[in-house]
Structure 1
Amino acid sequence: METLEEAELCFPQLNASCEKRPRSQSEALLIYSLLPCFSLLTVVLNLLVIISISHFRQLHTPTNLLLLSLAVSDFLVGLLVVPFQILLIEPCWLLGDLACVLCSFLPFISVPATAGNMVLISIDRYVAVCDPLRYPTKFTQKTVKGLILLCWVYSVLYNLLFLFDNLRQTGKFNSCYGECVITINGTVDLVMRFIIPISAIIILYVRVFVVAVSQARSMRSHVAAVKLQRSLTVTVQRSELKAARTLGVVVAVFLMCYCPYFGVSLFGSHFVTGSSVNILMFNMVVFNSCLNPVIYVFVYPWFRKCIKLTFTLQILKSRSCHAKVL
C-alpha cells in the first residue's frame, strides 16, 4: 500500500510533492499520437508555403509577404511549440521552475505573432479594396517588411513583460513540487492580445465586405459600357475582391480556433499545465496552424503548382525562381 501511495507522487521523497494526475486513455492517445502527427503535418505544409513564396519571384508581393510571415509563425508552432507543450502537459513537471517559465515562452509568442499577422492581412485587404489607386504606393514590399518586423519584435517584447513576474520569482505560484503554473494578468492579456486585434480585424473586414458588395453592384450595372481602361480596373478589382474573400476565410478560421483560448481568460488567470482545458486550447491553436496551408491548397492555383514543382525537384534547376506560377 505504501508503494502504491509513493508511486502516485511526483517526488516520493518530498512531503510537499504533487500527486500524479491520472491520464485517461483518450487523453494519452491525443497527446502522444495525434499531437505529434499534427506537429509533423503543420511543419511540412507550412514549409511548403515558405519555400513557395521565398523561391518564386512572381510571388514576391506585399500580400504574399504577409502570408509568408504567417506561415513562419505556424511553422514554429509545429517545430518548437508542440514539443515543448508536450513536456508541459506531462502529469509531473520535473525540469525545474526556470525551465517551466522558459518553455512557456515560445507557446505564448505564437499567439500575438499570429494575431498581429492577421491584423496586417486585414489592413492590407482593407487598403487594396477600399483605396485601390493608392494601394501600390502605400503597401510596398519595404513597408510590409517593416510592419512584419515590428509585429515580431512586439510579440517577443510583450511576452517578456508578460512573463516578467514569473521570471522574477520562479515557482512562486506553484502549490507543490512537480507543478508548473504560469500566472498572467488575465484582463490585460485579454485586452491586448484579443479584444484590440480582433476588434480591428472585424471592423476592417466589415468595411471590406460593404465596399465589396458596392463594387460588385457597380460592376454589374456598368459592365456593358466599360472601355478598355475601365475593363482593366474592373479586372483588378475582381482580383482584389477574390483575394479578400480567400483571406477572409483564413481570418474566420483563426477566430474560431483562438476564441476559446481567450474565452478561458475571462474566467481566471491561472493556467495549470496538463489540465484538460489547457490540452484542448492548445490543440485548437495547433489545428489552426495546420489548417491555413490546407486552405491555400483549395483556393490558390499557384500554391498547387508550387507544390508540384517542389516535389518533382524542378525548383533545383537554374532560373527556376523565374518560373511562371501565376
Structure 2
Amino acid sequence: MLYLLHKYKKLFVGNTYQFLFVHLCEVKGSKKYSTIRMELLGIKFAPLNVPLERRLQTLAAAAWLVTFTVGGIIDRHAAETGGRISPWARSWKWWKYLKDYFPLQCVKSDGAILDPNKNYLFGCFPHGVMPSGIFSLLNTNYGGFDEYFPHHERYLVTLSEQFMLPFSRELMLSLGGVASSVKSIEYILGKPGGGNVLGITVGGAKESLNSKPGIYRIVLRRRKGFVKLALRNGARLVPVFSFGQNDLFDQLDGPRLRRFQEALRKWIVIAPIIPIGRGFFQYSFGLIPRRHPVVTVVGKPIEMPKIEKPTQEDIDKYHTIFMEKLIELFEENKHKYLEEPESKKLTID
C-alpha cells in the first residue's frame, strides 16, 4: 500500500499525500495480525487488513442491535406462556461471532449450584445500553450456561412492547424471550418440578440512562416486585453482575437532555438513549457497541420460602438480603474484571 501511495503521489492534492503517508506508516502490532492504523479529522478508521473473522464479528454485533430495535402477529399470547424456544435458533453461528466480538464470558462463583428441582430468578445488573452479557448467557447456546447449569431451561424477560414488533418478535420467542408481565413471570417461576431459570434486568430502561463507561449506577432500591414474585412462587433469587457491560457505549447526556429523556421514557416505555459506539470502518462514533470484554458472574442462590401472600415486611427482608449479596458479589469480583477497581463503586438508586 505504501508503495502504491508513493508511486501515485502526484494524484494527491496539497498535504494529503504527507498526511496519508505518515498515518499509514504508523503500524500497531498484534499477536494475531498487524494493523495499519488510519486517522482522519480525529476519526480512527478500521485498518484495511482486518481479518474476515473480525469483520463478521462486527457485523454480528451491528445486526444484533438492529434486530432487537426494529422488528407480532402469530400466537400473540406466546410471550406470556414461556415463548416457543428453538434450539436451532439459539445455535446459530451468528451468536458465536457476537460472543467473540467483545468477547463475552460467563463465570460461576463459588456456591453457585442450582438444584434441578427448583426454579430460579436471576436478578441481572447492570442493564447497560443493551444487556449483551446476559443475552448471550440465557438466549444463546454459546454463553456457557449449559456448561454450568445443564439441568435447567432458561428464559429472559424483556419489554412486553417489543413483542409487538414483527420479525424481531418471532426471533425473541425462539431464543427464550418472555414478556415483562406478572402473568409471564409467574408462568415460568410457578412451573411444577422446577428446572427453570428466568433472568430479569431489574433496572430496565431507567437504569440504561445511567450507562456510562467506568460508572456502575444501578436502579434497585425501590424495585421490589421481583422479590414479591419470587416469594409467591418459592423461587430462589440469584444475584448476577456483568462486569464491563457499561463500557460498550458512551452516550450524550446533560441535565436538560436527561429531563427530556425521562419524560419521554415514561411515555414510550423504551429509554430514548443517544448512544456513542463505533461504526463498521471507524472507532470514534456510531451505533455498533465497542469491543470490550464483558464477564457475567453468577452469584450464590438465596434461599427463599414460598409465601402465597407475602407481607411488606417479608418483601423488604429479602430485598435487603438480595442487595447485600449483590454488593458482596460486586466487591469480590471487581478486582478481577475491572480496571482501576479501587475507584469503582456500586451505586444503588
Q: With the length of structure 2 as denominator, give the TM-score of the two structures.
A: 0.25
Query: Which structure would you say has the larger RCO, counting Cα contacts within 8 Å and 6 or more residues apart?
Result: 1
Tell me the TM-score normalised to structure 1 length.
0.26
Greater share of strand: 2
Which has more helix, going by share of residues? Answer: 1
